[in-house]
Amino acid sequence: MTRSTKYTNKEFAALSRNEDGDLIDLYESYPWLTDEQKNLVSEDDWSRCVEIEEELLVMFAEFEN
């Protein structure tokens, strides 16, 4: 199945997390998180989201060139 929509809040709540509450598969989940859900992740996940966004910007810039 190919996903094309953001997670519902129920799906977001059901994502696998470690004992610290961090999302286990953040890289796979990141594209499907809503902005509201990104604001609900742990501090560690928030910093990982920023890193993912920076990586994506670099990839897009490389693709455009």
Q: How confident is the model at residue 1 (pLDDT cuts 50, 70, 90)?
A: low
| Contact status, residue 32 vs residue 56, Cβ threshold 8 Å | no
Task: Tell me whether residue 13 is in a domain.
Answer: yes
Task: Tell me whether residue 49 is in a domain.
Answer: yes
pLDDT in tens, 27-54: 999 999 999 999 999 999 999 999 999 9
Diameter over CA atoms, the chain: 42
The pLDDT value given to residue 42: 94
Q: How confident is the model at residue 64 (pLDDT cuts 50, 70, 90)?
A: confident
Q: Give the structural domain span for 33.
A: 9-64
The pLDDT value given to residue 53: 95
Cβ contacts of residue 24 below 8 Å, gap of 6+?
Answer: 15, 16, 17, 18
Q: What is the pTM of this model?
A: 0.83
| Contact status, residue 44 vs residue 20, Cβ threshold 8 Å | yes
Amino acid at 22: D
Task: Tell me whether residue 1 is in a domain.
Answer: no
C-alpha to C-alpha distance for 6 and 2, rounded to whole angstroms: 12
Task: Tell me whether residue 16 is in a domain.
Answer: yes
